[in-house]
Amino acid sequence: MESAISIFLEGRNLARLMEGVWITLKISAASVLLSVVFGLLVGLLMISRKPALQAATRFYLEAIRVMPILVLLYMFYYLPDKNWGLHFEAQTVAIGVFTLWGTAEMADLVRGALTSMPAHQRESGRAIGLTEGQVNRYIIIPQAVRRLIPGVINLTTRMIKTTPFIYFISVPELLKVGQQIVEISGMKNNMASFWVYGFIFFLYFLMCYPISCFSAYLEKKWQN
Amino acid sequence: MAVARPVLKITGLHKRYDQLEVIGNLSLEVRKGEVLVVIGPSGCGKSTLLRCINGLETIQGGDIELNGQSIIVGHTRWNLVRQQIGMVFQSYDLFPHMTVLENILLGPMKAQGRERAEATKEAEAFLDRVGLLDRKDSFPRQLSGGQKQRVAIVRALCMNPEIMLFDEVTASLDPEMVREVLDVILGLAEQGMTMLIVTHEMAFARAVADKIVFMDQGSIVESAPPDIFFQNPVSDRARKFLNIFQFEGVKKEERHND
Amino acid sequence: MFLGIETEFIAKALPLYGQAAWRTVWVAACGVALSLIIGLFCSLARYYRIPGLKSLAAAYIELARNTPLMIHLFFLYYGLPRVGLTLDGITCGVIGLAFLGGGYMAEAFRAGLEAVSRAQIESGLSLGLSRRQMVRYVILPQALAVAVPAVAANTIFLMKETSVFSIVAVADLVYVFRDLIKEGHSNENLFLLTIFYLVIILPVSILFNRWERRLRRDGIGH
């Protein structure tokens, strides 16, 4: 145990791990925010009555769902650079690809929240003489938001759990930092990989679990 | 005529949910071939009574005997007890993933370990009697409410139970389907099936019952043969309850004044 | 050219990707199969509130669902040998996937089990079925039908997650891709990588879709 603690106290190891946490959280937060904004728009397009729009958004959703995110990352990392000389920072690629994926997921949540609304909700709103705008404002949107929020929070934890993928395009996120620490400390301390990776496991749990609990709490609270 | 032995005998039954007493010191006997109809206001404990008999609720006091054997005292193997008690619920609850015939055969074949051929023959005979033989390979979703409830009755009958319990079996049916289900139960009564029926259908209760048991607030207020009970209820509470089913014409006065 | 592709290179690399795809498929299949077993076991332990096992299952599910696969793999492959347990890459991959997937599948089955109504259970009880018969004939068939869409989503998710297996030296599609792209030909390699994932995942996705549609038509499940 002593040897474990010494790894984290040595040099800037702990500080570097925290920097890794920061990058992970920063990229997740940026991607979730962008996904929510674009997802709301795409979600509304999905329920539009224009067949072309429906088909296009559906294709987008299915295409994203069927492709591993890692493949998308590689695509956006190499294609623009090698073909058109457009070089993007790895972190920019990460946020771009995560947003592309998050937008699809968010759009599907929006579609689900709106289409699962029973028709009589809108009808009873009209029946008491509300205008279409009032029906949306007082009846549909408040209920849709309640259905959406747990999903959005879940998307956040999913985003955090997806960030390790950017290890593959060399962003110094948590795992990469951990690996570097292991490479150096491992020479002196052969338990380094056990403790460092164990600690990172714990850090991820610490980031995701409270958010999961909050989402489950809201879901339960709003169920009725 | 010799008095038939009691199939079901309940003595001093107590049922509580936490502090709330649902049934208090209730005693009841159903003899072989007898049809008892339990009526009373909602929440009087009549459905709970049926559920206690079938072990779906634990009881806090008293005893229940089936054919002279206590099913409360000692170690009760409820699955064996339930094989002798047929219960039909308000919401039919057929198994949605099985056909009509599979629904009916599940109990006889799995719980009782009977042969498929023999059980099928019996099931088909029962289905024929309730007019649903041609639907034996249908799934529950393809049936009307009344048809589902008739299948549920056959499902219970096919276990060859000692007694049948009916828990408001027509309460969630459309009015035009109530009759077909009640006719099946009337048919059973004619054939001498022992039954304990909870219902809100007063005319049916009167027609089918050997004895009416009126319950209120967890105990039996009065019990009497149907003609006596419906014409001259002894207790105030029974009279009040029966009045719910009577309507006075409110427009009569106006018409006279015209 | 806008996106130049050299067919010569493709022809040369195709067998390498083909082999890797096959490896990806069977490692994923093992992982998914194990995760289904773990998931079913955990969901039943919780559903029947089996003392001890119930809380163990709950804790495991939270751990699996709140941590990424890559860190499971790093810990299994690089961490465990330090405490005397050395596993090869493929074993790590399968265990990691099963650990992750078990948590997700457990939640899918739990939702299915909870969807079987109290009335259905009482209906089975009143037929005199034993506890085991209830599970087998009444509860599980309905619960599994309800769980199919979630199981489908989880299966696709787990298949996609195998894309990280190259970090534990499993020679999967990404491994071949990373190896070959060092020499250039990024367009060709990306093309092959994409196509092979489509070939693996698309059929599974389509099959599940059909199954879900059939269940919906039959009115079982949601």
Tell me the ipTM for this assembly: 0.89
Question: What are the φ and ψ backbone dihedral angles of A78, each rounded to 5 degrees?
Answer: -95, -45
Q: What confidence score (pLDDT) does residue A224 get?
A: 61
* Confidence class for position A120, pLDDT limits 50, 70, 90: confident
Cβ-Cβ contacts under 8 Å, C218 against chain B: 97, 139, 141
Whether the predicted pLDDT of B1 surpasses 60 = no
From chain C, pick out residues whose CB is under 8 angstroms from the CB of B56: 122, 125-126
Task: Classify A2-221 by CATH class.
Answer: mainly alpha
C186/A69 touch (CB, cutoff 8 Å), yes or no? no
d(CA A70, CA A74): 6
Name residue C104's amino acid.
Answer: Y
Q: Give the tokens for residue B30.
A: 């159903």
Chains with ≥3 CB–CB distances under 8 Å to B: C
Spatial distance between the Cα atoms of C118 and A190, rounded to a whole number of angstroms: 55
Q: Is B126 on the interface with C (CB under 8 A)?
A: no
| Cα–Cα distances in angstroms (integers) from residue B31 to residues A102, A150, B2, B28, B229, in the given order | 68, 57, 12, 10, 19
Query: Residues C161-190: pLDDT tens digits?
Result: 999 999 988 888 999 999 998 888 888 899
Query: What DSSP letter does each residue of B26-89 carry, written as one string?
Result: EEEEEETT-EEEEE-STTSSHHHHHHHHTTSS--SEEEEEETTEESSSS---HHHHHHTEEEE-
d(CA C47, CA C137): 16
What total number of domains does chain C contain? 1
All residues of chain C having their beta carbon less than 8 Å from the beta carbon of residue A200 are 71, 74
Range of the domain at B36: 6-247
CATH number at residue C97: 1.10.3720.10
pLDDT mean across residues, chain C: 90
Domain range for C182:
7-217
- Residues of chain A with pLDDT > 90: what percent? 41
Using CB atoms, which chains have 3+ pairs under 8 A with A?
Answer: C
pLDDT confidence band for B258 (50 / 70 / 90)? very low
Which bin fits C67, alpha (ψ -120 to 50), beta or left (φ > 0)? beta
Q: Does C104 touch chain A (CB under 8 A)?
A: no
B199 in Cβ contact with B39 (< 8 Å): yes
Mean pLDDT of B25-38: 93
| B27 interface with C at CB cutoff 8 Å | no
Position A217 pLDDT exceeds 80: yes
Q: Is the dihedral of CA A168, A171, A177, A178 positive or negative?
A: negative
pLDDT of residue C1: 47
Picking from C123, C145, C218, the nearest residue to B89 by CB comes out as: C123
Residue in this structure with the two tokens 């039919």, named with its chain if needed: B92
Tokens 């007019």, residue located: B131
CB contact under 8 A, C65 and A198: no
Q: What is the pTM of this model?
A: 0.84
C81, pLDDT greater than 50: yes
Query: C: neighbours with 3+ CB pairs under 8 Å?
Result: A, B
Q: How many domains does chain B have?
A: 1
Look at residue C222 in the predicted model and tell me its pLDDT. 44
Contact C205 A178 (CB under 8 A): no
> Lowest-pLDDT range, A128-137, B19-28, C149-158?
A128-137
Q: What pLDDT, on a 0 to 100 scale, did the predictor assign at position C159?
A: 95
pLDDT score of A79 more than 90: no
- In this complex, whether B and A touch, counting 3 or more CB pairs under 8 angstroms, is no
Average pLDDT over residues C202-210: 93
- Does the residue B254 lie in any domain? no
Query: Mean pLDDT throughout B80-98?
Result: 90
Task: Chain C: give the shortest CA distance to residue B163, in Å.
Answer: 12
Looking at residue C84, its pLDDT comes to 83
> What pLDDT does A59 receive?
92
Decide if B1 is inside a domain: no
SS3 string of A160-223? Answer: HHHHHHHHHHCCCCHHHHHHHHHHHHCCCCCCHHHHHHHHHHHHHHHHHHHHHHHHHHHHHHCC
Is C78 in CB contact (< 8 Å) with chain A? yes
Neighbours of B169 (CB within 10 A): 26
CATH number at residue B211: 3.40.50.300
Mean local confidence (pLDDT), A117-121: 81
In a domain, B76, yes or no: yes
pLDDT tens by residue, B130-169: 999 999 999 999 999 999 999 999 999 999 999 999 999 9
Q: Among A102-111, A184-193, B140-149, B199-208, which is the least confidently predicted range?
A: A184-193
Contact list, C133 vs chain B (CB under 8 Å): 110-111
Mean pLDDT, chain B, rounded, equals: 89
Residue ranges covered by each domain of chain A? 2-221
pLDDT bucket at C35, cuts 50 / 70 / 90: very high
pLDDT digits (tens, 9 = 90+) for B228-237: 999 988 999 9
